[in-house]
Amino acid sequence: MIGSLLTASAGAASLWLGLTGQAATPVLVDRAQAAFDTVAQTYPALNATVMVDGEIAWEAEGGLSRDAADGVTASYNVYSVAKMLTALAYVRLAETTGLDLETPVLEIDPDLPVHYDGVSLRDLLDHRAGVRHYTSREDWISFSDRRCVTPADALDHFIDAPLIAPPEGEIAYSTYGYVLLSHLLVLLTGADSFDAAMQSVLGDTYLARRDAADAEKAANWVDLGDGPEMIEGLSAECKFGAGGLLASSRELAAMGATLAAGEMVDLNGWSDLPGPWAGYAESADLHYAAHSGGSPGGRSFLLVYVEPQISVALTGNADSENLQALSIELADLFAGFDNETREE
């Protein structure tokens, strides 16, 4: 059901079971584990955490090359799932301070190039400002090789490039647009770091942290043509809220659970949330949010069903099979949607 609307193991083991205070049924556990194991065997390490009504209902760890640093409590690069968290911070800031998301970005930072005249915060959040994305593998590598302390340190990589706004009604996905949003969030909050800006807005619901070359996290695995190998020192730190955050599957799931419970942002404004990550399935009367993240060295997915209070988080340490289908299958299982309903 939700799949059509989103458009979107060796060593595997269930860790903890419980569903709204009751033991999960063996059939449910077996189906969840089987779905997970099929995907986990394409990763060096893959983790899953499912929360129901704010409590852990099921977890699993799998993969072909796990070590002691892997697991549901270990930090992983979540890559573009960070964009969803950044957008939520802006929504929360608008709710708590009256910030207008239509505010022109030049009002926040007058030192931006003049071609940003007319670009609003919402344009950036919706991927409609025309900020460029990666232009090549070399562009991705050169940006990943940068080292940044604040988002301002990353701006000169892309900020002077001309804007090419997409046709009306379409989006032009841009990681760099969310790097700019990270910079603007620091200015708006007056914080001295991106994490401090996020914490000042989202409070205890923010459980992620920014990446760094010396960060304690699961090893990054990259396939350079001869099979997956561990890469030392891979950092996405200059992406900040565009893809430079770390979190465990438990932390991602917990953030999703606070979103579903209305503790992160006001759910009454769901239909006006910025960005292409939130939606409504009319046939099921179900609000949902989803975002994937993937890049050399990692892949993640966060899926939230609001009404059934389901949060599914997956974290892996290589860029392997897309995790959308697995996230949907797990969410549907724990929401009680049967196969026939899921395929509608």
**Interval 31-46 mean pLDDT:** 96
147-193 per-position pLDDT tens digit: 999 999 999 999 999 999 899 889 999 999 999 999 999 999 999 99
**Does residue 48 contact residue 312 with C-beta atoms inside 8 Å?**
yes
pLDDT reported for residue 5: 35
Query: Which pLDDT band, with edges at 50, 70 and 90, does 21 fall under?
Result: very low
**Does residue 279 contact residue 288 with C-beta atoms inside 8 Å?**
yes
Does the pLDDT value for residue 17 go beyond 50? Answer: no
**Interval 198-205 mean pLDDT:** 98
Does the pLDDT value for residue 285 go beyond 50? Answer: yes
Does the pLDDT value for residue 282 go beyond 50? Answer: yes
pLDDT reported for residue 338: 64
Does the pLDDT value for residue 319 go beyond 90? Answer: yes
- Going from the C-alpha of 223 to that of each of 53, 212, 227, 231, the distances in angstroms are 38, 21, 5, 10
Tokens representing 335?
């929401």
pLDDT reported for residue 227: 79
Helix (H) or strand (E) holding 21: none
Residue 48 to residue 270: CA distance in whole angstroms: 26
pLDDT reported for residue 342: 42
Residue 124 to residue 130: CA distance in whole angstroms: 8
- Can you say how many angstroms the Cα of residue 225 is from the centroid of all Cα atoms in its chain? 27
**Interval 29-48 mean pLDDT:** 96
What percent of the chain lies above the pLDDT cut of 70? 91
DSSP assignment of 85-118 equals: HHHHHHHHHHHHH---TT-BHHHH-TTS-GGGTT
98-142 per-position pLDDT tens digit: 999 999 999 999 999 999 999 999 999 999 999 999 999 999 999
Q: How many CA atoms lie within 13 A of 325 on its CB side?
A: 8
Residue 73 to residue 61: CA distance in whole angstroms: 10
Does the pLDDT value for residue 20 go beyond 70? Answer: no
Q: Please name which of 119, 236, 109 lies closest in space to residue 183, comparing C-alpha atoms.
A: 109
Residue 20 to residue 105: CA distance in whole angstroms: 44
Determine what percent of the chain falls in helix, strand and coil, rounding each to the nearest 5: 40, 20, 40
**Does residue 184 contact residue 172 with C-beta atoms inside 8 Å?**
no
- How far is the first Cα of the chain from the last one, in angstroms, to the nearest whole number? 5
Does the pLDDT value for residue 4 go beyond 70? Answer: no
Rounded to the nearest 5 degrees, what angle is found at the Cα of 220, between the Cα atoms of 217 and 221? 155
Q: Which residues sit opposite 228 in a β-bridge?
A: 223
* Least confident segment among 7-11, 59-63, 141-145: 7-11
Residue 313 to residue 235: CA distance in whole angstroms: 21
pLDDT reported for residue 295: 93
pLDDT reported for residue 24: 66
* Least confident segment among 6-20, 213-227, 316-330: 6-20
Higher pLDDT, 276 or 13: 276
Residue 287 to residue 266: CA distance in whole angstroms: 13
Does the pLDDT value for residue 325 go beyond 60? Answer: yes
